[in-house]
């Protein structure tokens, strides 16, 4: 019946039967890490393909359609090309930091994926402070961007990195506060717990007005967090060439590129978990088949991903001072008010429960 779960249980039992307990749990962790890595490297590549297809659709083009059926192998071919490319760099770059920077970005992106409950009991790491873990991990990524821009010894990269620092640190606040608003209503920091709470109705319905405001703020700030248009000042190709990753090539560039897409997936996944009931099916229509939760989770996440792509392909880019004005003068005060509103609604029991 429950195929996925029984497979993991069998492997778990098998590992523990042939090894001592310590080694077995380490082996299990490594195994899970490798599986996650494989799944999300490929998923990241397909997100790139999806982005290109969506862009083509917006722009009256066909998009990639030559490599594989319907262009399905296009990004694989691109990845293969990037792997085989020479790693160039500037002579006077700070070699150590320059080489370290991409790993900061990609490792943190992949680490954040560990805490998502893709469906019931399909979660690598179910800690009780899951939301805090997510926030903490996702703010490390900016260090990679700052290091990359600073150590490349390129003026455009430096400007990009400085913009990134300013932007990400500012919008971290809004992401954090909008998530906090939802924590107020769910009453837990554990992601699996947050999904459980939503069996009485998705949080965006339960929390109605403040939840919708929180969702809008979260999507805006989340787009800014991932440095995507209309907040792509960090790369801003018409202003800075390629921004912080100007001097990166080959696989190191691919890490930055892949991380951007995985981050987009993460933001959408947080949105799904906190606002749209995670792996829960609408009205519980597939409650009896738990593994279908993956389908619902990924489906909802992809809808949010599409929303972010929609932003990207229709909006012009903000200027740096407008970006900061938006955050500090509008989103942040609104967010603080929204928290108070949410607290009132929870306190007075005005939430909508089914």
Partner 1 sequence: MDTNIANSNLKSEDYFINMGPQHPATHGVLRLLLTIDGEIIKKVEPDLGYIHRSIEKMCERDSYQQIVHLTDRMDYLSSHINNEAVCLTVENALEIEVPERVKVIRTIIGELTRLASHQLWWGVMGMDVGALTTYFYGFRDRELINDIFEETCGARLTMNYNIPGGLMFDIHPNFVKRTKDFIAHFKTKLPEYDRLLTGNVIFQKRMKGVGILTKEDAISFGATGPVGRGSGFSCDVRKHHPYSALDKVTFKETLRTEGDSLARYEVRIQEMWESMSIIEQLIDNIPEGDFKVATNAVIKLPKGEFYQKVETARGELGVYVVSTGTKNPYRLKFRSPGFSNLSLLNHIAVGGKIGDLVASMATLDIVVPDIDR
Q: Which residues bind partner 1 (CB under 8 A)?
A: 55, 58-61, 155-156, 159, 163, 229-230, 232-233, 236-241, 313-322
Q: Which DSSP string do the residues of 99-156 spell out, in sequence order?
A: HHHHHHHHHHHHHHGGG--SBTTB-S---TTHHHHHHHHHHHHHHHHHHHHHHTT-HH
Nearer to partner 1, 88 or 314 (CB): 314
| DSSP-assigned beta bridge partners for residue 119 | 122
For residue 113, how many other CB atoms are within 10 A of its CB? Answer: 21
Nearer to partner 1, 63 or 250 (CB): 63
Nearer to partner 1, 20 or 316 (CB): 316
Write down the least CB distance from residue 201 to partner 1, Å.
33
Measured CA to CA, the distance from residue 164 to residue 256 in angstroms comes to 13
Which of left, alpha, beta for 164 (phi over 0: left; psi -120 to 50: alpha)?
alpha
Nearer to partner 1, 9 or 329 (CB): 329
Measured CA to CA, the distance from residue 149 to residue 146 in angstroms comes to 5
The sign of the CA dihedral 217, 218, 222, 223 is negative
Nearer to partner 1, 113 or 233 (CB): 233
Write down the least CB distance from residue 194 to partner 1, Å.
33
For residue 296, how many other CB atoms are within 10 A of its CB? Answer: 21
Q: Which of 88, 106, 20 is nearest to 249 (CA)?
A: 88
Which of left, alpha, beta for 71 (phi over 0: left; psi -120 to 50: alpha)?
left
Write down the least CB distance from residue 55 to partner 1, Å.
8
Answer yes or no: are the C-beta atoms of 260 and 312 closer than 8 Å: no
- Side-chain-side CA neighbours of residue 265 (13 Å): 28
Write down the least CB distance from residue 228 to partner 1, Å.
11
Write down the least CB distance from residue 61 to partner 1, Å.
7
Write down the least CB distance from residue 54 to partner 1, Å.
11
Nearer to partner 1, 70 or 313 (CB): 313
Nearer to partner 1, 300 or 317 (CB): 317
Write down the least CB distance from residue 236 to partner 1, Å.
7
């Amino acid at each position: 019946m429950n195929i996925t779960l029984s497979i993991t249980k069998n492997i778990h039992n098998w590992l523990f039967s042939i090894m001592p307990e310590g080694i077995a749990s380490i082996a299990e962790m490594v195994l899970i890490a490798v599986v996650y890595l494989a799944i999300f490297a490929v998923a990241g590549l397909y997100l790139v393909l999806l982005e290109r297809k969506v862009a083509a659709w917006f722009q009256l083009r066909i998009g990639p359609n030559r490599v594989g059926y319907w262009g399905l192998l296009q990004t694989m071919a691109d990845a293969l090309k990037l792997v085989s490319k020479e790693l160039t760099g500037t002579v006077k770059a700070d070699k150590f930091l320059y080489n370290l920077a991409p790993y900061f970005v990609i490792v943190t992106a992949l680490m954040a994926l560990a805490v998502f409950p893709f469906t019931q009991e399909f979660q690598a790491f179910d800690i009780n402070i899951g939301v805090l873990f997510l926030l903490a991990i996702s703010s490390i990524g900016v260090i990679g961007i700052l290091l990359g821009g600073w150590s490349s010894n390129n003026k455009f990269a430096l400007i990009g990195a400085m913009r990134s620092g300013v932007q990400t640190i500012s919008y971290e606040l809004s992401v954090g506060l909008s998530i906090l608003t939802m924590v107020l209503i769910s009453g837990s920091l554990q992601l699996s717990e947050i999904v459980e709470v939503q069996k009485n109705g998705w949080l965006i319905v339960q929390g109605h007005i403040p939840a919708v405001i929180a969702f809008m703020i979260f999507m805006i700030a989340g787009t800014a967090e991932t440095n995507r248009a209309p907040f792509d000042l960090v790369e801003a190709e018409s202003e800075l060439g390629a921004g912080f990753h100007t001097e990166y090539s080959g696989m190191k560039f691919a890490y930055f590129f892949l991380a951007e897409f995985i981050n987009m997936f993460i933001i959408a996944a947080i949105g799904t978990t906190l606002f749209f009931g995670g792996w829960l099916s609408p009205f519980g229509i597939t409650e009896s088949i738990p593994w279908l939760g993956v389908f619902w989770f990924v489906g909802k996440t992809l809808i949010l991903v599409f929303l972010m792509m929609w932003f990207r392909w229709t909006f012009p880019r903000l200027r740096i001072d407008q970006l900061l004005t938006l955050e500090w003068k509008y989103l942040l005060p609104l967010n603080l008010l929204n928290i108070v509103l949410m607290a009132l609604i929870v306190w007075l029991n005005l939430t909508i429960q089914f």
